[in-house]
Amino acid sequence: MEEIKPIYGKNISEAWALAYNECFKMPGGLMAPAIISFDINEADASWQLETKDIRYALDKQLIKDDESSIETVAGTIFPESVWMRCNGDREKLFMEYNRMWPYVSKCRQNRHGTYFRRLSSFGTNQLKAVIETWHSGTHRHSALQSAIFDPAKDHSKARQLGFPCLQQVVFHPKGINGSEGMTVVAFYANQLLVEKAYGNYLGLYRLGKFMAGEMGLRLKGVTCIASNLSLGKHGKKECQHLLSEIKRVLSDAN
């Protein structure tokens, strides 16, 4: 069996760019499976969450392809703009998102739901349950996870459903009682590098920051496992310019 080599980046942008570079080398632009990780090092004043030139290159490609922006994709996992308006009140966040849902759901791309909706209103508020479980003193890892896939809704014979690609999120404490911080581990059945992955990573980072803060921990990293990782809807030829930009930025950084 071929060894799975995790891809590690110093921040979101580098992790995404290295994954894109590796995926481009593969037959059909496909890696199956893939493990992508990046650390969060906010204690270091020189550390940056994103590399400006990589983000800019992808933003241009998304505009050219008429795809959803990075911020739009990230917002399906964690609604950062709503959270900013709630002044650190998580109950207000949940209530506000629930109030907004009839309007959010009118968007065609949200017709099957959003990830944050599944995380906060999937029979129960799973995020709230994880936070309260942690503060109750129960720190077993199996209690610190949230599911997104709904067998009753998502087992479908449709050839393409579009949602949910993200299946599960685990909030993994490191060290005794989280003394070494927390990492977010997410599992995707399918992930598109150009259209979705960068926004996915950013959304998972923001979700992790929220959860770590509410649990009294420090977010230390994000790991994304995709059973099927592909360049996206477009072939290698259409994205050759994007690859050239990525290689130039990575080369300048080394």
Q: Which domains does the chain have, with CATH numbers?
A: 7-253 (3.30.572)
> Quick one: average pLDDT of 214-228?
97
pLDDT tens per residue, range 152-204:
787 766 666 666 889 999 999 999 999 999 999 999 999 999 999 999 999 99
| E strands present in 63-190 | 145-147, 166-173, 182-188
Give me the pLDDT at residue 241, please: 85
Structure tokens given for 214: 């509410």
Question: Beta 191-192 vs 30-31: how paired, if at all?
Answer: unpaired
Percent over 70 (pLDDT), the chain: 93
Confidence of residue 89 (pLDDT cuts 50, 70, 90): very high
Structure tokens given for 197: 């992955």
pLDDT tens per residue, range 29-50:
899 999 999 999 988 889 999 9
> Quick one: average pLDDT of 140-144?
94
Cα 197 to Cα 209: distance, rounded to the nearest angstrom: 18
Q: Please enumerate in sequence order all residues whose Cβ is within 8 A of that of 124, keeping only pairs 6 or more positions apart, or say none.
A: none
**Is 80 exceeded by the pLDDT of residue 91?**
yes
Contact 148, 166 (CB under 8 A): yes
Contact 217, 178 (CB under 8 A): yes
Cα 12 to Cα 197: distance, rounded to the nearest angstrom: 10
Question: Beta 166-173 vs 145-147: how paired, if at all?
Answer: antiparallel
Contact 14, 52 (CB under 8 A): no
Give me the pLDDT at residue 113, please: 77
- Residue the block writes with tokens 């921990």: 217
**Is 70 exceeded by the pLDDT of residue 242?**
yes
